[in-house]
Structure 1
Amino acid sequence: MKQIYFTLFLSFLTTFLFAQNQKLNNLLNTNYNARELPPELTDYNKIGGGIIQKDYGIHQFRKENIQLLLLEQITNDGQNNITNYILDYLEIEMNNSDDYIAYQLCRYEGWTNDLIVAKVMREDKEYFNTVFQAWQINMKTLKFEKIEVDKIDCMNEGWGI
């Protein structure tokens, strides 16, 4: 009997996760205006974002304990009509109140690399060096790629304030 319940639970969980991923996969290769988010993002709160290289940026969203990062190509028609084209996304589970997503401020072997995104532990020091997960944006494929966490640290932009 336990085996039947377990099998049903796994089936439900797989279906639920597939539906969630499919919903986010629908975002890929779509355009949106930052003032009008796509329907797939209505359950999320916008946290922020930034430009990582000319015409490319990251938007960061949160829903419960999940952070969603969108890699986007940004275009401006010259009349301040900005369009975001979604290239890739990362879903990152935030398990602890000290978990923090750092980007634009990370270093590899002491050298700044604005293409690194890292899940780090928030600490009261100049650089976060407890890195749980890290990705680098591949500017040829325009995708997030998982990388090793050793030799990565990220600046604590609030340190000393």
Structure 2
Amino acid sequence: MQLKFMRQLGFLLLFSSLTIVGGNAKIPAKAIPSSSMLSPIKPETKLVQAETSPYIGLIYSEVPEGLISGGGAVIDQWHRIHVVEQPGQAMYLWLGELLRYDQVGQPVTQVLDVLELPPFSKSQRIAFRFCRLNGKVDRAIAAIVEMTESEYYTQISHAWRVNTQTGKIEAMSTHGVDCKNQGWKG
């Protein structure tokens, strides 16, 4: 019963607030909790070997110091996307897999894939969580959109979809993609 509560609490915490701000480039010890502090949820999860980003394979409950969280979204029970900025350098989209919850119910996530986002103008933003493909909401889509005064952003310069089977962020056609304008008052 307690584990079920921890799962629900962690899901709510992750869904409601993902913004955490760090200070310098070191990864704090609390980013990789000790196994004695953790409640396993998905024991069959395998560690991912680093490919091109030093963050692939990182296990964290807070983004490392020196990085700024731009928010995130739950894709399904085990996967989430997270926008992370390295100030003055680059902005990234992280695909993470929920491993477990720590002793206080914080989700502990492992980075499966990292996409460095292309530069975009001040009239654009990264949109996720409420993007659609051919009118159907698809939480696995993230896109760079041109901000307009409309209910949906339809001018899409880039789009990606999380493939939860392969653990990769994959480029996709922008055809048929739009994203809800969360600030729309119309």
For this structure pair, what is the TM-score category when the shorter chain's length is used for normalisation? 0.7 to 0.9
Query: Which protein, 1 or 2, shows the higher relative CO under an 8 Å CA cutoff with sep ≥ 6?
Result: 2
TM-score by length of 2: 0.66
1:66-120 C-alpha deviation (Å, 9 max, x unpaired): 3211111122146414311000111113331011111111111111111111111
Q: Which position in structure 2 is the counterpart of 1:56?
A: 79
Distance 2:68 2:51 in 1: 16
Alignment correspondent of 2:61: 33
Separation in structure 2 between the aligned mates of residue 73 and residue 89 of structure 1, nearest angstrom: 12
Structure 2, unaligned runs of 5 or more: 1-49
Query: C-alpha offsets along residues 9-55 of structure 1, whole Å, 9 cap, x if unaligned?
Result: xxxxxxxxxxxxx9961211121221xx33xx61x322211211112
The answer as to whether partners of 1:65 and 1:94 remain within 8 angstroms in 2 is no
When Rg is computed on C-alpha atoms for both structures, the one with the higher figure is 1
C-alpha RMSD of matched pairs (Å): 2.2
Matched, 1:115 2:140: yes
2:63 paired with 1:70? no
Task: State the SS of the aligned residue for 2:179.
Answer: strand
User: Is 1:126 equivalent to 2:151 in the alignment?
Assistant: yes
Q: Distance in 2 between matches of 1:155 and 1:101?
A: 12
Quick one: which amino acid aligns to residue 90 of structure 2? I
Contact 2:79 2:164 in 1 (8 A): no
Partner of 2:169: 144
- Higher helix fraction: Structure 1 or Structure 2? 1
- Bigger strand fraction: 1
